[in-house]
Amino acid sequence: MTRFTELLKTGEVHSAYEDVNMTTSIPDTAPASVEDLVNPPKPDFSSMSKLELESFGRTIGIELDRRFSKNKLIKQLKEHIEYMETM
């Protein structure tokens, strides 16, 4: 008798098989439709470091130069966000 036949007789569930009685549900966090807007809260730029400002800028499509002052980086971010909102 093969190992596979033994497993079938015992009814054991292994990693290759899924026990349908023990499935867990994953909460659905996606928007109900494409039309539902997802507006994350605007970050507090003054509490962010220059490195964090640069990383955030990359996520919204702008490359910032950390050699500039923090106030200059914040100004560039705000201008870019305003520009993107008008498009």
Angle at 66 between CA 62 and CA 45, to 5 degrees: 70
Q: Model's pTM, two decimal places?
A: 0.55
Domain layout of the chain by residue ranges: 41-87
79: enclosing H helix or E strand: helix 70-86
pLDDT at position 43: 87
pLDDT digits (tens, 9 = 90+) for 38-72: 666 778 999 999 999 999 999 999 999 999 999 99
The count of other CB atoms within 10 Å of the CB of residue 64 is 19
